[in-house]
Amino acid sequence: MELLSTPKNIEINNITCDSFRISWAMEKGDLERVTHYFIDLNKKENKNSNKFKHRVSPGRGGCGTPCPGREVRGAAGREGLPEGDGDALMSPSLPPDYAKEHLAQLQEKAELIAGRMLRFSVFYRNQHKEYFQHVRMHCGNVMKPSLKDNSGSHGSPTSGMLHGIFFSCNTEFNTGQPPQDSPYGRYRFQIPAQRLFNPNTNLYFADFYCMYTAYHYVVLGSSGDLFCRERLPQLDISSNKFLTCCVEEGELVYRHAQDSILEVIYTEPVDLALGVLGEISGHQLMSLSTANAKKDPSCKTCNISVGR
């Protein structure tokens, strides 16, 4: 077996108490053969040297194509870096990407706390005013899928791999309407549920996590994305525990789980003309933001044991 070349121009930054970012350069020929990166954190015989190396892990090629530079926790994954670069966010004790059977275990845990189903009628997306201005001025009024960050479970295969647009659908139990507070910005795009979902929509379970709080998040992937079909457990859209769409008395009825905060990754572009954009009246609760949020590894409700 031909060995890979030694990485060059290694840099370490973004150091925190439990993670750090490593970047490096690779020979162009190696990029065609690499699917995943693994980092060896052991020191070499020379005690003054603490170099990092990467290698190919047979049987781990989940995305089907080489990934030139990945960003994950543990054993890496992000597409789209400049050719010849590698980039990994490392936390040495964390597991590799969950396989489907691991996600099935996580799904079972999420179902235990999902609670009763409440009706809703709109999906919504909160962002800052500048985001929607950019969509209108530079994207032809169309929100386009973007790469998911590293929020959620450390082993989630969607981190740094799945492109989509995050939507919410949770409602306040006393009003049946979306909450007026938001962690992501004071401007909200609302779209009728039937514009995005129907009984033929593909729905997948992607993640279940919390951020050192009592709130638990369930992440779902939607539409016909090939990555979802290959890596995530598919849900029956008419009878799952999180988000349903079914026909009742001749009309489409939508329901969401009461006791989980749902985040839906919609994998297709969405035109702003299909919905309504407005400013919310509540507060911007930055502490609830899930952007690159780390999962509480000690929570018994939303963690699973993954054998090595």
Q: Tens of pLDDT along 22-34?
A: 777 877 777 666 6
Q: Is residue 174 part of a domain?
A: yes
CA distance 186 to 207: 26
CA distance 210 to 303: 9
| CA contacts within 13 A on the Cβ side of 294 | 12
Residue 94: pLDDT above 70? no
Q: Which residue has the higher pLDDT, 271 or 100?
A: 271
Which residues 6+ apart lie within 8 Å of 43 measured at CB? 49, 50
Q: Which of 8-12, 62-66, 145-149 has the highest mean pLDDT?
A: 145-149
CA distance 25 to 8: 5
Q: Is residue 85 part of a domain?
A: no
What does pTM read for this prediction? 0.67
Query: Other CB atoms closer than 10 Å to residue 19's CB: what's the count?
Result: 16
Amino acid at 215: Y
153, with CB counted inside 10 A (0-12, 13-18, 19+), is buried
Residue 4: pLDDT above 60? yes
Q: Which residue has the higher pLDDT, 38 or 185?
A: 185
Q: Is residue 180 part of a domain?
A: yes
pLDDT of residue 185: 84
Q: How many domains does the chain have?
A: 1
Q: What is the pLDDT of residues 223-234, one digit of tens each?
A: 656 788 888 999
pLDDT of residue 151: 85
Q: Is residue 42 part of a domain?
A: no
Q: Is residue 58 part of a domain?
A: no
What's the mean pLDDT when you consider all of the chain? 77
pLDDT of residue 203: 95
pLDDT of residue 161: 87
Which residues 6+ apart lie within 8 Å of 249 measured at CB? none
Q: Which strands sit side by side in the sheet containing 20-25, from one edge to the other?
A: 8-13, 20-25, 85-90
Extract the tokens encoding 177. 């309407």
Q: Which of 78-87, 256-265, 297-306 has the highest mean pLDDT?
A: 256-265
Q: Could you tell me what percent of the chain has a pLDDT over 70?
A: 69
Residue 275: pLDDT above 80? yes
Phi, psi at 285, each rounded to 5°: -90, 85
Extract the tokens encoding 73. 């926790």
Q: Is residue 284 part of a domain?
A: no
Domain with 222, as residue range(s), is: 100-279
| Strand 117-120 relative to strand 85-90, pairing | unpaired
Residue 120: pLDDT above 80? yes
CA 246, 158, 293, 85 dihedral sign is negative
Q: Could you tell me what percent of the chain has a pLDDT over 90?
A: 43
pLDDT of residue 252: 96
Q: Is residue 84 part of a domain?
A: no
Residue 179: pLDDT above 90? no
Yes or no: say if 204 and 221 are a contact pair by the CB < 8 Å rule.
yes
pLDDT of residue 35: 60
Q: Which of 48-62, 133-147, 190-204, 248-262 has the lowest mean pLDDT?
A: 48-62
CA distance 164 to 33: 27
Averaged pLDDT for residues 7-20: 66
Among 221, 199, 217, smallest CA distance to 209 is for 217
Residue 188 CA: distances (Å) to CA of 127, 131, 185: 6, 11, 8
Confidence grade of residue 72 (pLDDT, cut at 50, 70, 90): very low
CA distance 79 to 73: 14
* DSSP-derived 3-state class of residue 226: helix
Q: Which residue has the higher pLDDT, 251 or 223?
A: 251
Q: Is residue 30 part of a domain?
A: no
pLDDT of residue 54: 34
